Structure 1
């Protein structure tokens, strides 16, 4: 069984970073058959192991679990976002790089 280990990114709907601290191990089956339900339009899959998500505190714990269970896995490193730190007074600085127009 193949697994994917990653750290989830923040939700686009909020500015908070909730639920982004834990590492997730989820099972991946590339050859799983998907089909659309004709009445409801839902997508179903013949393999339910794709619904299982295990949470770990650290990446090492997730890797250790996958190795102990004999799984093949890949680790997707998370990218930290760049923060532009500036103060409110920098909006009115004399040497401002962008023109300030209204």
Structure 2
């Protein structure tokens, strides 16, 4: 049985936009470890579920999908948003 991880995507720290941060993402845990290819050195495995990422509008929709398909799942809570309030003048202290 496949184990899935459900989480909310964090905001990209390199950009100011918040696109797709309100959606919930489902990823499957790897079933086998990755190994290096002897010829190219690239990391790979035979597990194709590593390539699947599903997006859902709500947490309830993601949980319903897992229960309908018979997947075990863990919900990772969204991290707390912390704001560092700082004035521009603080750069010159």
Partner of 2:33: 33
Q: Are 2:6 and 1:10 aligned?
A: no
Q: Report which stretch shifted further, 36-45 or 16-25.
A: 36-45
Partner of 1:95: none
| Alpha-carbon distance in structure 1 between the residues aligned to 2:14 and 2:39 | 30
Partner of 1:60: 60
Q: Does the CA contact (< 8 Å) of 1:33 and 1:46 recur in 2? A: no
Runs of 4+ in 1 over 6 A off after TM superposition: none
Q: RCO higher in 1 or 2 (8 Å CA, sep ≥ 6)?
A: 2
Partner of 2:24: 23
| Alpha-carbon distance in structure 1 between the residues aligned to 2:67 and 2:18 | 29
Give the CA RMSD over aligned residues: 2.2
The TM-score normalised by the length of structure 2 is 0.80
| Alpha-carbon distance in structure 1 between the residues aligned to 2:7 and 2:56 | 10
User: Which residues of structure 1 form unaligned runs of 5+?
Assistant: 92-97
Aligned-pair distance for 1:65?
0.7
Secondary structure, aligned partner of 1:25: strand
The TM-score normalised by the length of structure 1 is 0.74
| Alpha-carbon distance in structure 1 between the residues aligned to 2:40 and 2:12 | 27
Report which of the two structures shows the higher radius of gyration computed on alpha carbons: 1
Q: How many residue pairs were aligned?
A: 91
